[in-house]
Structure 1
Amino acid sequence: MANGPLAILAVTSDETVSRSLDKCLSSNGYICVLARSADEGIAKYRQSSPALVLIDRRQPSLAALLQAAAKECIPVVSLQPPGQPCGEEECAEDLQTGVDQVLCTDSYREVVARIRALLRRTRASSTRGQRFEICGLCLDVERHEVSVNGREVELTPKEFQILSHLMQHPARVFTRQELLNRVWGEDWALEEHTLDVHIYSLRQKIETDAANPAYVVTVRGVGYKLQSDRIS
């Protein structure tokens, strides 16, 4: 895949959206792999090894596909149907299911630009050969593995990137905007709530008590930091 065009898996039952995505992605040098159902999506995911998964947020029963993508660190973008507004509640729901980004636009050129930026950021964020540990929380960058006291934890790609960045800078306080820029890239105009949703989900997976976090803590009025006690 690194030596040829990148494959983008697009899952939608909307024929108009399918044709538009196929035309726009193909004309920009990507291989567009189309699937019209969740079952077809997971089958084509295994066949095509896509660099990114693009889903129509109206599509049902996508849990298996989202889980497979998260396990292999493949970013997932949820696309709001053209002409329909994006509500904050709907975006939060998508992010909590494991989606990395929600796109609300009628411009397929913008979709391609956002995909390109996300793929660039994802590749740039992969720092190999590093392992971090703090009080039983372990993160292996090369293997893309996280464990808490020996228990393996499955994170979405964005959750992993957030945690990895915080663990590389223990005790440093990052504003929400700094973390958004470092994890998503400055090409994305995102609300700070997007980060808060990912932090909430991350805490549910790594903290013993998510309401009183011991690892990823909030610095009131500023942002977030990783507790630095006994870093190894």
Structure 2
Amino acid sequence: MTRETILIVDDEKEIRDLIGIYLENEGYKVLKCMNGLEALDYLQKEEVDLIVLDIMMPRMDGMEACMKIREEKSMPIIMLSAKTEDMDKILGLTSGADDYVTKPFNPLELIARIKSQLRRYKKFTNKLVVQDENIIEIDELLINTSTHEVKVGDREVKLTPIEFSILELLARNKGIVFSIEKIYERVWKEEFFKSDNTVMVHIRKLREKIEEDSRKPKYIKTVWGVGYKVESL
């Protein structure tokens, strides 16, 4: 069985080594580097399944690195930061991250989040023979749940695993309104906390990618005071 490869990007050697020890004990292959430029270089040479990416780093910080990675790659990215403000979390998720963990963190919690992201990613990148039930079409929006491909007309749209999971959930249940709480629990498989605005950030990014005008969404509709839905067009 091929070991999954995790890239740890952090300018603090102690953090890299700590996370690396826990990951290696779980059987993962670990790569380490200390800034965003080194991470981009690694990704040109190595197949990486998930990235643990610190925000505050010299030369190229995690935000910029994440945005550059997302231009070509869709593997899960978990942000690390000593900042705890909601706006910092929103910026991290907006730049393309799938999850956000604040320092100091419990290494066991981080490992659990890594495993969760990898399970989700493997589910949607499993290359199967495409059957009819793997294709969801809504007007010009086409979702292939087998190959994790999304197109709007002739334009291919690159989504993160979380964005894809949200879109698939809503598209498979056209006309049904999902609350923020239900979306979080169905996609993240975790208990929802009222102060968490993670879902709204991902919905906004998803709209920016698939909607012609994200301010007047065609596919993902807001039902004020209730939640979100995808309508049949």
Same fold (TM over 0.5): yes
Aligned partners of 2:124 and 2:145 also within 8 Å: no
Q: What's the counterpart of residue 86 of structure 2?
A: 88
Determine the C-alpha separation between the residues in 2 that align with 1:120 and 1:188: 20
Q: Verify the 8 A CA contact 2:7 2:50 in the aligned structure 1.
A: yes
Larger RCO: Structure 1 or Structure 2 (Cα < 8 Å, ≥ 6 residues apart)? 1
Structure 1 residue ranges without an equivalent (≥5): none
- The number of equivalent residue pairs is 221
Letter in 1 for 2:183: L
1:76 aligned partner = 77
Offset at 1:15? 1.1
Contact 1:177/1:192 (<8 A) preserved: no
- Looking at structure 1, the residues matched to 195 and 229 of structure 2 have their Cα atoms a distance apart, in angstroms, of 19
2:39 counterpart residue number: 41
Q: What are the within-5 Å matches in structure 2 for residues 1-232 of structure 1?
A: 3-59=1-57, 60=61, 61-62=64-65, 63-70=67-74, 74-80=75-81, 84-104=82-102, 105-124=104-123, 129=130, 130-186=134-190, 191-229=195-233
Contiguous gaps of at least 5 residues in structure 2: none
How far apart are the structure 2 equivalents of 1:225 and 1:207?
Answer: 14
Q: Distance in 2 between matches of 1:38 and 1:85?
A: 18
Question: Equivalent pairs: percent with the same residue?
Answer: 29
Q: Aligned Cα RMSD in Å?
A: 2.1
The letter for the 1-side match of 2:113 is R
Q: TM-score, normalised by structure 2?
A: 0.86
Shifted more, 100-109 versus 45-54: the winner is: 45-54
Q: TM-score, normalised by structure 1?
A: 0.86
Is the CA contact (8 Å cut-off) linking 2:136 and 2:172 kept in structure 1? yes
Rounded Cα–Cα distance in structure 2 between residues aligned with 1:124 and 1:144? 9
